[in-house]
Structure 1
Amino acid sequence: MKIYFKLTILFLTIVFTSCEDVIDVDVQTGPSRLVIEASLDWEKGTTGNNQTIKLSKSTPYYDTTTNTGVTNASVRVTNDNDNTEFVFTHQGNGEYTTTNFIPVIGQSYTLEVVHEGETYIANETLMPVVDIDGITQSIESGFDEEDLEVNVIFTDPEEQENYYLFKFHKQGDLLPVLEEGDDEFVNGNEITWWFEKEEDDETDKIEAFLPGDTVNIDFFGISESYSNYIGILIEQSWGAGLFSTTPVPLRGNCINTTNADNYAFGYFRLTQVVRTSYTFQ
């Protein structure tokens, strides 16, 4: 697949006259791949029966195609202990849903996606999450002592290794912010996880939290393997810095057992999640 774009370069001459050259640059792109968004999240206080898996195809960076949903796949999840199968039915837009999924903490499940004659398999275990003990606000924990931050307080279980994912989404913002962590140095202790929005110095746009702002908070318990995956993804999303590694295509746990070279993007995860919100005073 090739993309051609025009790069305009302006040359200034000594007499301040100028000319414009048009250069066609052949940009190589990778093949279109299956994208599997299979996040089965069991919100505490619900049955967890309703779940959705999204399938789409990747597109080149400059491609403006918006309708990339995959409509001709077979999707199912199997409980590895008793072989109970949960079939996900296509909804006509790339989304595959079920209303009878049965979540079991600590249980492993296998995802199977069959698309265009190729089979993709992934395995994951449903991880628990502790309750949130409290939510407060402050200004002393963050990088800027004048900016508000939200503090999520919880108690880490001592008897096990735990990996956590937070999703903070200020109401009105286009995208959420993801942060991941573990209990390596705080095992068994009360933890206060703070989140602060800083001002954007490049655009002079104020992004810091203000009184009256509401932030939605999702608190997930995740596996170690998913923690490693999402940690790299978060780091790459920050952009290239002075000491950053060169971004590379990030493979998840969805393995093409028919043709290993035609791997998929995305990840199959199973988590328990606590969802809440906080309004700054």
Structure 2
Amino acid sequence: MKLYIKSFFVLIVLSITSCEDVIEVSVPSAEPRLVIEASLDWKKGTLGNEQTIQLSTSTPYFDTEKLDPLSGASVKVKNTSTGVEYVFIDQKDGSYNISNFEPVINNTYTLEIIYSNETYSATETLRAVSPIKAVEQTLEGGFYDDVLDVYIFWDDPVDEENYYMIRFIEEGDLLPILEDFPDEFVNGNQLDAFFEKDRDSDDPEAEFNPGDVVDISLYGISKEYFNYVRLLIEQYYSGGDPFSAIPVKLKGNCVNIDNPENYAHGYFRLSEFDTVNYTFVEQE
């Protein structure tokens, strides 16, 4: 009986392993689109004169290559509040630079990109941000009582509608963690945001340890960009979640004036931001 069972088991294994078929999935493709990375960020305490706009074209989803950098476009930004125009110089590597940009809080700016005989346009207002007044590390307040986390604190202006984006990144990481934050129910108060890494019992280095370094940046953003980045963050972090909403195609504020159907990916944003660099220490 034992020999029969063993032989039967071998037959099952052979039958399973011999039924592997290669299934080729046809993935729909689309024409390349213009990708606009136009985040004009003004760091507190600086002039904000040096700015860069990146242009590229989209590539197929499963393509392992990076986005194709795009040169030969005309790129300029106009302060519609003052009428001053700023021409960005093509660096021939997908980047367009300027060294005399003048950021003015609450002024409205218009981006104009001309490429392949089509004009793309977007409008945004430069938003201010309060300075980061303190940064602290603690073992309390996060999801784990014995894992280090870090807090930043700032004062929200009274009687103003403010929207924030917080960017956390640990030294050595490739991608940052982004959070969106409205002051809808906390207007005029001291606000805070914290960053904590998950505990992994098999890897003590997974959580924050003394000596780890993080950069934390606080951005003032418009309501329109807040709505955009909130959806972007939700879709990014819901990947693989069977209970999450179905992802939708996100369109930024860059409109193709000549051919609306040939829209661009990306967003034109202006923000003032404050940033801190923090090194974790031994917790007393």
Q: Taking structure 1 as the reference length, what is the TM-score of the superposition? A: 0.91
Aligned to 2:159: 159
Contact 1:240 1:246 in 2 (8 A): no
* Equivalent position SS for 1:161: coil
1:221 aligns with 2:230: no
- Per-residue CA deviations over 1:180-203 (Å, capped at 9, x if unaligned) read 1011111111112111111368x8
Deviations 1:90-145 (A, max 9, x none): 11110001001010000000000111111110000000000111100112111111
Distance 1:101 1:22, change over 3 A: same
CA distance in 2, matches of 1:246, 1:196: 28
1:51-130 to 2 correspondences below 5 Å:
51-66=51-66, 68-130=68-130
Separation (CA, whole Å) in 1 of partners of 2:210 and 2:204:
17
- The one-letter code sitting in structure 1 at the alignment partner of 2:266 is G
- 1:223-249 Cα shifts (integer Å, max 9, x gaps): 011011111111111114243111122
Percentage of matched positions with identical amino acids: 49
**Residue 64 of structure 1: how far off its partner (Å):** 2.4
Give me the whole-angstrom Cα distance separating, in 2, the residues matched to 1:205 and 1:248.
37
8 Å contact 2:38–2:52 — kept in the other structure? yes
The AA in structure 1 aligned to 2:227 is N
- Higher strand residue share: 1
Separation in 2, partners of 1:21, 1:270: 52
Equivalent residues in 2 for 1:245-264, closer than 5 Å: 245-264=245-264
1:138 matched to 2:130: no
Query: For 1:227, what is the secondary structure of its paired residue?
Result: helix
For 1:261 and 1:173, how far apart are their aligned partners in 2? 37
How far apart, CA to CA, are the structure 1 residues paired with 2:109 and 2:200?
42
- Which residue of structure 2 lines up, in the alignment, with residue 233 of structure 1? 232
**Separation in structure 2 between the aligned mates of residue 220 and residue 46 of structure 1, nearest angstrom:** 15
In the superposition, relative to structure 1, how do residues 179 and 67 fare at CA in structure 2: closer, same or farther (>3 Å)? Answer: closer
Deviates more, 1:206-215 or 1:128-137: 206-215
1:180 and 1:169 map into 2 onto residues whose CA distance is 15
Q: Which has the higher helix share?
A: 2
Q: Structure 1: which amino acid aligns with 2:193?
A: W
The alignment covers a number of residue pairs equal to 269
Q: CA RMSD in A?
A: 1.7
Give 5+ residue unaligned stretches, structure 2: 1-9
Q: Determine the C-alpha separation between the residues in 2 that align with 1:227 and 1:103.
A: 20
Distance, in Å, in 1 between the alignment partners of 2:135 and 2:125 is 29
Structure of greater Rg: 2
Corresponding residue for residue 277 of structure 1: 277
In structure 2, the residue corresponding to 1:93 is in which secondary structure? coil
Q: What do residues 157-183 of structure 1 show as CA deviations (whole Å, max 9, x unaligned)?
A: 112011011111111112111111011
Shift of 1:205: 7.5
1:29 aligned partner, one-letter code:
S
User: Displacement of 1:250 after TM fit?
Assistant: 1.0
